Amino acid sequence: MAKAKTIFFCSECGGESIRWVGKCPHCGAWNTMVEQKIEPEPKGNTAGRVQMSRSAPCQIDHIIAEEGKRYRLGIDELDTVLGGGLTPGSSVLLGGEPGIGKSTLLLQAAVKMAAYGKVLYISGEEAAEQIKLRYQRISADNETHADNIYLLAQTDIDSALAEAEALQPALLILDSVQALFSPQLESAAGSVSQVRAVAAAAIAFAREHHAAVMLIGHVTKEGMLAGPRVLEHMVDTVLYFEGERYNALRLLRAVKNRFGSTNEIGVFEMAESGLRPVEASAYFLDQRHLSSPGSAVTCVLQGTRPLLIEVQALVSPSAFGNPRRLSSGYDYNRLLLIIAVLERKLKLRLNDKDIYINIAGGLRLDDPAADLAVAAAIASSAADVSVEQELLLLGEIGLLGELRGVTQEERRLKEAAAFGFQKAVCPPAKNKPKGYLRRLEAANLAEALKILGLI
Ligand code: TYD
Ligand code: MG
């Protein structure tokens, strides 16, 4: 019998090395190599590898590919993030911190998916009775396809997939990749090689049986999928479920998607009876503190959807020589840049003031169209004058203080109009979108702040 050998895996990227090294040769991370004993592979063992079905080379003209059939789950927020529904044969990884609602979301998906076919929910963490209790909380009384939902409490991936083989589900859910293990490997469940083997087996099952598979993965405090960042490369779609523990709002975002855009987000609220989709713009604006100085509203694009967002700023005299700048939800370096422009181009005195920026609702913005709203919120707080209500701010700020155009302005104006906004301050545009709001054009930051009455 061949000897069991030891290899080292990087817990960041999953890269392998035959010796221990301080720095991963694959991703350059320090102190991430972990030792793993590998049993000699029996012939045909595919643990850790996804095997495509073997086929001869074929001319591209002769390949028949239908534009994918999708299962629309009827949970709009989830369908959008998936790129229009769940694709048969695909694998989806749902990552998030413990307790955020991953099991709840996928059980809700299972209930909807039951309308199309059988669903097998494999739980390595909870007993079938526990899942049943959750099911009773989230499902309406009149679920018509409950007989299509199967639960299996199992931690051995091979036995679990054998059951799946017999059942032939249209959707297979693994809760979670860290709780399941492959008996062919010696290492403990949750280790890098185990997580890879479990995911690879499930993905291979999905390809072979044309079933969709959804994997739940826990994320460590640092925000990485515990160990197996490597999973991100193996699956077709990676979704992250985020939110704060003491806030009912949950954001679902795609960070990788072979079947759709990755900028999409879905917004949910954790309620008594499970996760409820919320209309995002309404949610973020609802909590706005109307007509307080330091508040400004902009419209950012998250994937295909426009979102109205409140930017809050607080400017206060600093107690010490070194003024503090803090940003939550907005890029810190961009904030510094905007402060510099406000100081140099508008002669605003900010070097003896602390500045705090907050994006309401816990969202992270990376759309430069929000720049003008950030600048206006700061100027508004500094002057203690509020920005007019129902006024939208759009525009990227350049180093010279100029305002630059934003992408898809029309869709943003349309969203704002739908929420009763009357006016928008925006950069000059060649093709002016008409009919939504009254556009007040400003070529630079100074003009924009004059229109707002802040300088
Ligand atoms: P869960 O889906 O178990 O989280 P995860 O699988 O990501 O660890 O849900 C966690 C929390 O959600 C739990 O603290 C209870 C709460 N919850 C509700 O508030 N309402 C509900 O209807 C359900 C099912 C859960
Ligand atoms: Mg769970």
- Taking CA atoms only, the protein residue closest to ligand 1 atom 17 is 274
278, 306, 321 — which closes off a domain? Answer: 278
What is the structure's pLDDT at 19? 87
CATH code, domain with 398: 3.30.230.10
Let me know whether 417 and 351 are in one domain.
yes
By most ligand atoms within 8 Å of CB, the mutation choice from 97, 270, 275 for ligand 1 is 270
290, pLDDT greater than 80: no
pLDDT at 364: 81
pLDDT tens for residues 2-58?
Answer: 566 778 888 777 778 888 888 888 888 888 887 776 655 555 444 445 555 556 788
Task: Pick the closest to residue 46 from 180, 125, 157 (CA basis).
Answer: 157
* Same domain flag for 187 and 118: yes
Domain end marker among 278, 305, 335: 278
pLDDT at residue 350, as a whole number: 95
pLDDT score at 67: 64
Atom of ligand 1 nearest to the CA of 105: 2
Judgement on whether residues 438 and 362 belong to the same structural domain of the protein: yes
Tokens 């209309």 -> residue: 279
260 & 376 share domain: no
Q: Quick one: 147 and 227 in the same domain?
A: yes
Is 421's pLDDT higher than 80?
yes
Residues 297 and 338 in one domain: yes
Examine residue 56 and state whether it is found in any structural domain, yes or no.
Answer: no
- pLDDT for the residue 435: 76
439 Ramachandran zone, left/alpha/beta (phi>0; psi -120 to 50): beta
At residue 297, does pLDDT exceed 80?
A: yes
Residue 104 and residue 30 in one domain: no
Range of the domain at 19: 5-38
CATH of the domain at 137: 3.40.50.300
With the C-alpha atoms ordered 195, 249, 243, 132, is the resulting torsion angle positive or negative? negative
For the residues 243-271, what does the mean pLDDT come to? 84
| Residue 60 belongs to some domain of the structure | no
Report the interhelical angle of 128-138 vs 102-113 (nearest 10°). Answer: 70
Is 363 domain-assigned?
Answer: yes
**Whether 183 and 299 share a structural domain:** no
Residues with CB under 5 A from ligand 2 (ion): 103
Cα 104 to middle of ligand 1, angstroms: 6
Ligand 1 center–CA 272 separation, angstroms: 9
C-alpha span between 136 and 138 (Å, rounded): 6
Q: Do 209 and 357 fall into the same domain?
A: no
Those residues whose C-beta lies under 8 Å from the C-beta of residue 142, and which sit 6 or more positions away, are none
With contact defined as beta carbons under 8 Å apart, do 257 and 236 qualify?
yes
Give residue-wise pLDDT tens across range 118-146. Answer: 999 999 999 999 999 999 988 866 567 88
Residue given tokens 């973020």 in the structure block? 284
Q: Are 160 and 217 in the same domain? A: yes
Best-predicted range by mean pLDDT among 15-29, 216-230, 432-446? 432-446
Output the CA 99–ligand 2 centroid distance in Å: 7
Let me know if residue 385 belongs to a domain.
yes
State the ligand closest to the CA atom of 240. 1
Overall number of domains in the chain: 3
- What letter represents residue 293's amino acid? P
If you average pLDDT over residues 142-169, what whole number do you get?
Answer: 92
250: its two tokens = 């949950």
The average pLDDT across 395-422 equals 92
Please tell me the number of Cα atoms within 13 Å of 170 on its side-chain side: 20
Q: How far apart are CA 53 and CA 201, in angstroms?
A: 13
Residue 250 alpha carbon to ligand 1 centre in Å: 11
Domain match, 249 and 296 both:
no
